[in-house]
Structure 1
Amino acid sequence: MFTGTLEFDVVLPPDSRSLKAKRAYVRPVVAALRRLEVSAAEVGDQELHGRTAIGVAAVAGTAHHVGEVLDACERLVAGRPELELLSVRRRLHSSDDD
């Protein structure tokens, strides 16, 4: 069994000056990621209005499949014109890891 995670560091548009406006940008992204059959959530910078961290986790039987799913997630977030993707942190774990 293999698990993979992504953590996206994202800058939101200047008009996201309230938490309500921030949610209007974050929720559709998280919903779109979940349609790729992964777990996704806002995992950091909840108190900041112009930034967010979005986490994604996927589980599969092969490392290759996990990689394909994470690649699709990264393309989805990078392709959102309203967001500025600063960085992506990727990790892959095997059930054989100690």
Structure 2
Amino acid sequence: MVRYLILRTLIFVGCLALTWLLGLRDREEQLLAVVIAAVASLVISAVVLKPFRQQASADIAERVDRRVERKREKAARSDEAVEDAELRRPAGDVDEGGSDSDFR
């Protein structure tokens, strides 16, 4: 992701330098130069940096999948611990009313 960000910034700076070389140097033309550089770098980045963008997207998706899997495993372990605790409870641990003794 950092590599993509750096490359995109370099493309913008290159486009801005190109607009300066083409003659957009005056103070009144600076905003126009920045807008032209931004649009040009957007188009160039969309075409040239497509593999880097896809790789960054795949890396993010992989991290999200791993995080979801860890949460599922943690929930499963928690569920198993609750079931084990219920199985270890003695069978005679019930009140006359039929409710658990934990809820008196």
- TM-score relative to the length of structure 1: 0.27
Indicate the structure (1 or 2) with the bigger Cα radius of gyration.
2
Higher strand share: 1
Q: Which has the higher contact order (CA 8 A, sep 6+)?
A: 1
